[in-house]
Amino acid sequence: MPAVQETIDRVRSIDVDQYKYGFFTDIESDKAPKGLNEDIIRFISAKKDEPEWMLEWRLDAYRRWLTMTEPTWARVEYPPIDFNDIYYYSAPKTAAGPKSLDEVDPELLETYEKLGIPLREQEILAGVEPKNRVAVDAVFDSVSVVTTFKEELKKAGVIFCSISEAMREHPELVRKYLGTVVPVTDNFYATLNSAVFTDGSFVYVPEGVRCPMELSTYFRINEQNTGQFERTLIIADKGAYVSYLEGCTAPQRDENQLHAAVVELIALDDAEIKYSTVQNWYPGDSEGKGGIYNFVTKRGDCRGKNSKISWTQVETGSAITWKYPSCILRGDNSRGEFYSIAVSNGCQQIDSGTKMMHLGKNTSSRIISKGISAGRSQNTYRGLVSAHRKASNARNFTQCDSLLIGQDCGAHTVPYIESKNATAVFEHEATTSKISDDQMFYCQQRGLSGEEAVALIVNGFVKDVIQQLPMEFAVEAQKLISISLEGSVG
Residue in 258, 254, 345, 269 with CA at minimum distance from that of residue 304: 269
Measured from the CB atom, the residue of 220 and 358 that comes closer to other proteins is 358
CB of 427 to other proteins, least distance (A): 5
The β-bridge partners of 235 are: 204, 266
From residue 70, give the alpha-carbon distance in Å to each of 65, 187, 290, 299, 450.
Answer: 10, 9, 21, 20, 44
Size, binding site for other proteins by CB under 8 A: 38
CB of 298 to other proteins, least distance (A): 22
Contacts for 69 with CB less than 8 Å, ≥ 6 apart: 188
- Of 165-173, 250-258, 405-413, 452-460, the segment contacting other proteins by CB under 8 A is 405-413
Of 405, 454, 455, 489, which one interacts with other proteins (CB under 8 A)? 405
Measured from the CB atom, the residue of 221 and 372 that comes closer to other proteins is 372
Q: Tally the residues of the chain.
A: 490
Residue in 364, 342, 312, 359 with CA at minimum distance from that of residue 413: 342
Binding mask 291-310 for other proteins (x = CB under 8 A): --------------------
Does 176 contact other proteins by CB under 8 A? no
User: How many Å apart are CA 176 and CA 202, to the nearest integer?
Assistant: 13
Of 327, 424, 454, 483, which one interacts with other proteins (CB under 8 A)? 424
Of 46, 418, 467, 471, which one interacts with other proteins (CB under 8 A)? 418
- Of 180-188, 220-228, 263-271, 426-434, the segment contacting other proteins by CB under 8 A is 426-434
| Cβ 373 vs Cβ 403: under 8 Å | yes
Does 456 contact other proteins by CB under 8 A? no
From residue 143, give the alpha-carbon distance in Å to each of 3, 146, 162, 279, 294.
Answer: 46, 9, 8, 19, 18
User: How many Å apart are CA 371 and CA 381, to the nearest integer?
Assistant: 8
Measured from the CB atom, the residue of 207 and 464 that comes closer to other proteins is 464
Does 410 contact other proteins by CB under 8 A? yes
Does 409 contact other proteins by CB under 8 A? yes
CB of 33 to other proteins, least distance (A): 34
Measured from the CB atom, the residue of 13 and 132 that comes closer to other proteins is 13
Binding mask 54-93 for other proteins (x = CB under 8 A): ------------------xx--------------------
Of 90, 226, 310, 413, which one interacts with other proteins (CB under 8 A)? 413
What SS3 state is found at 331?
Answer: coil
Q: Is the dihedral of CA 53, 257, 71, 202 positive or negative?
A: positive
Does 277 contact other proteins by CB under 8 A? no
Taking CB under 8 A as the criterion, which residues in 372-391 touch other proteins? 389
Residue in 267, 86, 263 with CA at minimum distance from that of residue 186: 263
What SS3 state is found at 109?
Answer: helix
Does 110 contact other proteins by CB under 8 A? no
Measured from the CB atom, the residue of 150 and 434 that comes closer to other proteins is 434
Torsion angle in degrees (nearest 10) through CA of 308, 358, 372, 450: -60
CB of 383 to other proteins, least distance (A): 11
Contacts for 422 with CB less than 8 Å, ≥ 6 apart: none
User: In what helix (H) or strand (E) does residue 299 lie, and over which residues does it extend?
Assistant: strand 291-302
Does 430 contact other proteins by CB under 8 A? yes
- Of 106-114, 319-327, 420-428, 446-454, the segment contacting other proteins by CB under 8 A is 420-428
- Of 78-86, 274-282, 359-367, 401-409, the segment contacting other proteins by CB under 8 A is 401-409
Does 402 contact other proteins by CB under 8 A? yes
Does 406 contact other proteins by CB under 8 A? yes
Measured from the CB atom, the residue of 255 and 427 that comes closer to other proteins is 427
Does 415 contact other proteins by CB under 8 A? yes
| Cβ 219 vs Cβ 292: under 8 Å | no
The one-character DSSP state at 353 is: -
CB of 378 to other proteins, least distance (A): 9
Q: Distance between alpha carbon 17 and the CA centroid of its chain, in Å?
A: 23
User: How many Å apart are CA 464 and CA 368, to the nearest integer?
Assistant: 8
Does 438 contact other proteins by CB under 8 A? no
Determine phi and psi for 65, rounding to 5 degrees.
Answer: -60, -40
Measured from the CB atom, the residue of 4 and 248 that comes closer to other proteins is 4
The β-bridge partners of 371 are: 342, 402
CB of 408 to other proteins, least distance (A): 7
Of 59, 115, 425, 448, which one interacts with other proteins (CB under 8 A)? 425
CB of 387 to other proteins, least distance (A): 8
User: How many Å apart are CA 198 and CA 214, to the nearest integer?
Assistant: 24
Footprint on this chain of other proteins (rule: CB under 8 A): 1-3, 72-73, 389, 402, 404-434
